[in-house]
Structure 1
Amino acid sequence: MPVITVEEMNVFLNEHFPQGEKFGVLTGMGDAWAEMRLPVDDEHLRPGGTVSGPSMMALADVCMYAALLGQIGLVPLAVTTNLNINFMNKPESGRDLVARCNLMKVGKRLAVGEVWIRSEGCEEIVAHTTLTYSIPVER
């Protein structure tokens, strides 16, 4: 099983996704999990002052990607095949978002995980996401 540090993953994400900082910053990872933070600013907001759905989707997607690559190694061509998100509560104004992904299953060709998003310092879930990733045959 690959052992990838947060620092190595952040370097990989910066090299392969230079726009990635808009999607969040990896803050922790381990065996089948990853955590990210989205420093919310004006570019993430929609009318009414809440964080936009696409911003939360991107945060969840990159969090799952980091968790998966922590398991299978730095495979750039692992791709999202399904993302389902339930927006549950309005994010707290002026707080960063925190996401945690737990992988549910990593097979030979597919991986499934869940991501919970909260406003920093709050217990209330802002969004719940399930994702499926396709894993390339040749790694």
Structure 2
Amino acid sequence: MPVMTIEQMNRFLAEHFPQGEKFGVLTGLGDSWAEMKLPVADDHLRPGGTVSGPSMMALADVCMYAALLGQIGPVALAVTTNLNINFMSKPEAGRDLLARCSLMKVGKRLAVGEVWIRSEGCDELVAHTTLTYSIPAER
């Protein structure tokens, strides 16, 4: 059972990480998972009309942050210690990106999760990301 509701998480993110909204909007939050949507805009694009790698990495990172805090509560200082991304295919032109994070392990000091990114309305995987987060000693 998540510790925070989607409404609580959205309030927390707006207060503590307001710049995060340019990296995606939280659309779902549950037990060990989160979902986000990136409304793709011109500033997310790179030459050639595709979504930039840094935009997809940021979407994955914020999605993992939301999934983790949904489990451990509002721990603002939980931070990324590793992010590995594999770009699988070019995002569909003119479509928003959807991300889903699934937490694989949440320990006392580290958490590991995966994020899958797809273009909205498409089954083909755009990117697959694994992330590790450090959780501060005092919660």
Provide the rounded CA distance (Å) in 2 between the counterparts of 1:67 and 1:117.
15
Match in the other structure for 1:70: 70
Match in the other structure for 2:117: 117
> For this pair of structures, how many residues does the alignment match?
139
How far did residue 4 of structure 1 move? Answer: 1.1
Match in the other structure for 1:13: 13
Provide the rounded CA distance (Å) in 1 between the counterparts of 2:135 and 2:2.
15
Match in the other structure for 1:23: 23
How far did residue 100 of structure 1 move? Answer: 0.1
How far did residue 2 of structure 1 move? Answer: 5.2
Closer, same or farther in 2 for the Cα pair 1:92/1:2, shift >3 Å? closer
How far did residue 101 of structure 1 move? Answer: 0.2
Unpaired runs of 5+ in structure 1?
none
Provide the rounded CA distance (Å) in 2 between the counterparts of 1:16 and 1:73.
13
Match in the other structure for 2:84: 84
Deviations 1:90-110 (A, max 9, x none): 000000000000000000000
Report the 3-state secondary structure (helix = DSSP H, G, I; strand = E; otherwise coil) of the residue aligned with 1:12: helix
Give RMSD over aligned pairs: 0.8
Deviations 1:5-46 (A, max 9, x none): 111111111111121111000000100000000000101000
How far did residue 3 of structure 1 move? Answer: 2.5
Provide the rounded CA distance (Å) in 2 between the counterparts of 1:39 and 1:62.
14
Identity %: 86
How far did residue 116 of structure 1 move? Answer: 0.1
Closer, same or farther in 2 for the Cα pair 1:123/1:101, shift >3 Å? same
Provide the rounded CA distance (Å) in 2 between the counterparts of 1:128 and 1:33.
15
Report the 3-state secondary structure (helix = DSSP H, G, I; strand = E; otherwise coil) of the residue aligned with 1:19: helix
Runs of 4+ aligned residues of structure 1 deviating over 6 Å after TM superposition are: none
- TM-score (ref. length: structure 1): 0.98
The answer on whether the counterparts of 2:110 and 2:133 sit within 8 Å (CA) in structure 1 is: yes
Provide the rounded CA distance (Å) in 1 between the counterparts of 2:21 and 2:63.
12
Unpaired runs of 5+ in structure 2?
none
Report the 3-state secondary structure (helix = DSSP H, G, I; strand = E; otherwise coil) of the residue aligned with 2:83: strand
